[in-house]
Every structure is written in structure tokens, then in C-alpha cells.
Amino acid sequence: MKSYLKKNNNWLYVSGITLYVFGIILSTIFDKDVSMEDNPIIGMISQMNGWIMLIYIAVIAPILEEISFRSWTVNKKWTKYLSLILSTIFLLLANPYIGGIYFLSFLAVIVFLKNKPKPTLISLILITTIGFTLAHIGNFEKNIFLISTPVYIGITFVFTYIALRFKLRYSMIAHGLYNFSLLLLGGFIIPFGNSIILNEGNYEGCLKPVSGLYSKKGTDNYGGYSANISKTMLPEIISMLEFDSDYKIKTYPKGYSFYNLEVKTKDTLNKIDLKALSQEIIKKANLRLDTIIVLKDAFFVEIRDVEEIKREVKEKMKVDEFPASLSGIINSISRFYNQTIIIPEEYNNLMVEYKKEFSTLSSDKRFEDIRKDLEKEYGIILKPKKAQVKVIRIFEEIK
């Protein structure tokens, strides 16, 4: 079988390149913007330490995925079972039903076609290609993923060709270089764009492109007498500055272009007009906004005893403890957990006792745990309902 694998796989390379090019053309023709909130990969890239993300995407992921989906190309009995087990784990994480069907199909090929080189080769190529493609289905919305399927199949054919024609380690290298090139072209490695000087009214500052490898220092601040936001995509910067409200925000970055925003007031008598600042950035940085209405699941804020909350705030202020804005807490929770939470107008200016656990949210806590904590600490109930929600869409466009 070894000689057969070496001599009869040129069709993989040709069809792989053809499918990849076709997929790029298809994605261009049917281009549909996907928000950062609906794309787990972009969200993960924006939140994780840049160097860790680079090592994971360009080194660790390619090695793990090549061992999992293409170690069978080594053509030893144990490598087929290694590939079976590891690739099945990937599929089970994506979808348990798909993972089960994949496992049985792969196992059937190993058991029933073990003495038939050509059927074994074709079957394993097709099964692992489908498996590798479906393992990435969680990266996008389903309709976007369908458009991108030829790209995944094409690149899988090319990696399989390299593993068969040369060695598995070369497909790992090719996979790593491919992922690295995506980050490079997307602006993650080298910052794209020009610095923008901001000077409107009572503030002055700069919006500066930075590499995705740039590490955040300190806590973002975007209110009062200064506005400082580190390593954030342009649409998200606008959502921070202008829309601390019950609007649902969708941000649509192009590539992985990050920016630092550093603005301060010219004097300390007036605070920064965040709306004016955001409008200047929108104009100068080529952003576009629109609003749509969608029917979706939401949570409505209900409070058991508003007067009790006010009494607690007054007591804390007597000992120089500063209160927190209820709307600020709710909007932070909404943004962090990507949930739509609607605050009735009468609660918009309500101040509550400062609680550290709501100002420093952590992925260690689920949204349901936060709901329970809000009810326990403040008597605030997040009641699920269907609602017509205003969705502000912020697009970063490329000229």
C-alpha cells in the first residue's frame, strides 16, 4: 500500500487547489458579514493574550489536527487507531451525533477494508476530509460555514497530499504556515491602517493601529476626563463609547485589525463628549452604522424592592463607599455573556451598592450563576421573554 500511496495521489493536489480557489470565489460572490459576536474564533483572538494565541493557532493547533486527522497516512496499524480516536474526539466536541457516525465509519474502513489498499485510501481520505471540515463548523454561523466548505475541503486535500507524498511532519509545517499566513494577511501580526489624530471640541488624542500581539496593560477606561481603550477592534471601540444601553450590539470587523485609543480632555472642567468622539472616529475610520429590529430571546430586569436598594446605597455613602450604576453593571453582564438584557426606563439612573464580583466578570462563572447572584445580592430578577430588540450593527469597511 505504501507504494500505492506515494504514486497515485496527484489528483488530491489538483482537486484541492481547484476547490480552494472555487471556495474563495464563492465566498467573495456571496460575501456575508459575520459579526464578532457570532464568530467564536474572532472573539477568542480578541480576548486571549496575543502571543499565546499565535502559538496556539500557528503551532499547537496544526500539530494536533494533523496527528488527529492525518496520522493514518503513516500507514501503520496503530496510527490508524490513533487517528480514529483523536479525530473522533474533535468531532464529538463539535457534535456528538456526527462524532458517533464518524467513529463507526472510520472503524468499519479499518476492519473491513484492511487488505484492500485502494478502497482503504479513498475511504480514509473522504472520511477524514469530511471530519476535518465538520470539526470546524463551530467557527461560523451555519450559512457562512456552508459557503466556506469548499475552502476547508480543498485545504484538507492539499494537507493530505503532502502527508501522503512526503511525511506527516511536512503537512504539520504546511498547516502551521497556512494558519500563520491567515493571521498575517488579517492584520494580526503586522498592524494595518494609519494613526488618526482626534481633536474635536474639548478633547484631543489619537487612534493608533497595533498588532494583535500587543498586550493590554491596565483596565480600559472610556468615560470621564479620559478615554483609553487597548487592543480592541474599531467597531467594538464604537460600541463601548456610544452604546451603553439596552440595544443589542453587533460588530463587524474586517480582518483582525486592533487599535489603541488614547484621548484626554484639554481642561478638567468638562468631561469628554463620548458621542462626539465616536462620531469623529466613525467619520475618519471608515465605519458604517445601521439599526434593525429583530424578535429574539431577551431578559427583562425586575426589582423586588427598589426602595431597599436606595436605602443601602445611602448607608454605604455615609462611610465614603461609592455606589455603582445598575445600567453599567447590567450592560457589562450583557456584553460579557452576549445576552440581551433590557432595563426599564425607570431603572436607568438607579445606583446600587458596589459589588466587586459584578465589576470583574470571569469566564469561571456561567450566566445562570450571575442571574442567581443578582437576585441574591440586589433582589434583581432577569426574567426571560421574547422581545423586539433594536440591533445596532457597526461595520468596519475597507475602501
The Cα 218–Cα 322 span in angstroms is 21
**pLDDT tens profile 242-275:** 765 657 788 888 778 899 999 999 887 778 888 8
The Cα 163–Cα 345 span in angstroms is 61
Checking if the pLDDT of 39 tops 80, the result is: no
Q: What is the crossing angle of helices 61-70 and 142-165, to 10°?
A: 70
pLDDT of residue 108: 95
**pLDDT tens profile 166-221:** 999 999 999 999 999 988 988 889 988 889 999 988 899 999 999 988 887 666 77
| Better-scored residue on pLDDT, 68 or 186 | 68
pLDDT of residue 330: 86
Nearest Cα neighbor of 154 from 350, 302, 304, 22 is 22
* Residue 4 phi, psi dihedral angles, 5° rounding: -65, -40
Q: What is the mean pLDDT of residues 28-40?
A: 74
Residue 220: strand pairing partners: none
Radius of gyration (C-alpha) of the chain in whole angstroms: 26
Percent of the chain exceeding pLDDT 90 equals 35
Checking if the pLDDT of 120 tops 70, the result is: yes
Residue 19: strand pairing partners: none
CB 160 within 8 A of CB 129: yes
pLDDT band, very low/low/confident/very high, at 1 (cuts 50, 70, 90) = very low
Mean pLDDT value across the chain = 85
The Cα 339–Cα 53 span in angstroms is 25
CB 350 within 8 A of CB 328: no
The Cα 182–Cα 184 span in angstroms is 5
pLDDT band, very low/low/confident/very high, at 59 (cuts 50, 70, 90) = very high
Q: What is the crossing angle of helices 61-70 and 117-135, to 10°?
A: 140
Type of residue found at 192: F
Checking if the pLDDT of 141 tops 70, the result is: no
The Cα 155–Cα 285 span in angstroms is 34
CB 27 within 8 A of CB 148: yes
**Three-state secondary structure along the chain?**
CHHHHHHCCHHHHHHHHHHHHHHHHHHHHCCCCCCHHHCHHHHHHHHCCHHHHHHHHHHHHHHHHHHHHHHHHHCCHHHHHHHHHHHHHHHHHHCHHHHHHHHHHHHHHHHHCCCCHHHHHHHHHHHHHHHHHHHCHHHCCHHHHHHHHHHHHHHHHHHHHHHHHCCHHHHHHHHHHHHHHHHHHHCCCCCCCCCEEECCCCEEEEEEEECCCCCCCCCCEEECCEEEEEEEEHHHHHHHHHCCCCCEEEEECCCCCEEEEEEEECCCCCCCCHHHHHHHHHHHCCEEEEEEEEEEEEEEEEECCHHHHHHHHHHHHHCCCCCEEHHHHHHHHHHHHCCCEECCHHHCCCEECCCHHHHCCCCCCCHHHHHHHHHHHHCEEEEEEEEEEEEEEEEECCC
In total, the chain counts a number of residues equal to 399
